[in-house]
Amino acid sequence: MSYLDNQISAFKSNLTSSSNKLSNKRTAAAPANSTTSPAPSQASITVKNDLKRKRVEQPNTVFSQPKDTGTGSHIITQVTYALEKLKEKDIQWTWQRLGEYLSLHGREEGYGQALKRILITHDKVKYQRVDGKGEDFFSFRPIHDIRSADELLGFLQSQPTAQALSVKDLKDGWHGALDAIDDLEKQGKLSVTRHKKDDSPRFVWPNDPSLFFPIDQEFKTMWQKIKLPEPGALADELEREGLTPANKSRSIKAKPVKHENKTKRARKGGKTTNTHMAGVLRDYSHLKK
């Protein structure tokens, strides 16, 4: 029993020392947790705020847009302005007047002459030199040189074929083309096709009003009283007569294909073997099908 008593007393002593150590650690750690961190100073807060990047609000500045003054610095731009002006006015312009519109005064030497040479050779510009006046005249050259109703009718009648004339091409150099087309159509001198979207004219053909003949109202009433057959009645009538309607495809029946049984032909010219056993073997060739 002495051995057991010694073990029990040793266990109790170890348990007591372990509890003392734990209590000492908790006591030592308590002051560290109880201490409070120092509050940041006002100076450090100010420095941190200054270090932060502040977004500068820019005012909504509205910049002025360039105005369309009718002139440009590039020579090709000047050519475009000149063509637009010639097409808009539809009259002859002298070179002096055209130069004033394009503000050629004060340009470098040779700029105006280069622009003039471009306009003279341009396919959309009609150039005319009047020797008596010593002036150069410029006008717009349209696709068709038509600017009145009489010129339109004369142009259509001179055509060798009855090809339609595009209204878009007519408007290229004739500003009053639409009004003239409407008047000629009412007079029966033009046949006009129109766009479905806005009912504007698209193509025109010549028309002869003398070919129109009045029809009595009696014949118009008789024509309107004629009852048309039902949509499917005409097709049924054609099928009864053995005809195929145009809205149905004719079905062609394929002829039946006859399959012939091919017989295997006997081999000719073969070499006969086993001649030495002719008296032993039997001939079964007559049993072949």
Distance, in Å, from the CA atom of 53 to the CA atom of 248, rounded to the nearest integer, reads 81
* 3-class SS of residue 46: helix
CB 115 within 8 A of CB 79: yes
- pLDDT bin (cut points 50, 70, 90) of residue 225 is very high
Picking from 59-63, 177-181, 182-186, which range would have the lowest pLDDT averaged per residue?
59-63
Q: DSSP letter string over 132-178?
A: TTTEEEEEE--SS---SHHHHHHHHHT-SS---EEHHHHTTT-TTHH
- pLDDT bin (cut points 50, 70, 90) of residue 32 is very low
Distance, in Å, from the CA atom of 102 to the CA atom of 2, rounded to the nearest integer, reads 131
- Each residue of 118-147: pLDDT tens digit? 888 888 888 888 776 668 888 888 888 888
Task: Return the structure tokens found at 160.
Answer: 């060798």
- Each residue of 93-117: pLDDT tens digit? 888 888 888 888 877 778 888 888 8
- pLDDT bin (cut points 50, 70, 90) of residue 203 is very high
Cα angle 202-203-208, degrees, rounded to a multiple of 5: 135
pLDDT score for 219: 93
- Each residue of 261-284: pLDDT tens digit? 777 776 665 566 777 777 777 777
pLDDT score for 71: 44
Q: Between 70 and 271, name the one with better pLDDT.
A: 271
Distance, in Å, from the CA atom of 16 to the CA atom of 20, rounded to the nearest integer, reads 6
> Distance between alpha carbon 193 and the CA centroid of its chain, in Å?
26
- pLDDT bin (cut points 50, 70, 90) of residue 182 is very high
**The model scores a pTM over 0.75:** no
- Each residue of 235-270: pLDDT tens digit? 888 888 888 877 776 666 667 777 777 777 766 655
- pLDDT bin (cut points 50, 70, 90) of residue 194 is very high
* pLDDT exceeds cutoff 50 at 72: no
CB atoms within 10 A of CB 285: 6
Q: Between 213 and 150, name the one with better pLDDT.
A: 150
Share of the chain above pLDDT 90, in %: 12
* pLDDT exceeds cutoff 90 at 53: no
Q: In the predicted model, what is the mean pLDDT of residues 199-212?
A: 88
* pLDDT exceeds cutoff 80 at 218: yes
Written as one letter, the residue type at 161 is T
- Count the alpha carbons within 13 Å of 214 in the hemisphere toward its beta carbon: 3
For 29, 82, 104, 197, the CA distances from 97, given in Å and listed in that order, are 103, 11, 10, 42
* 3-class SS of residue 117: helix
- pLDDT bin (cut points 50, 70, 90) of residue 190 is very high
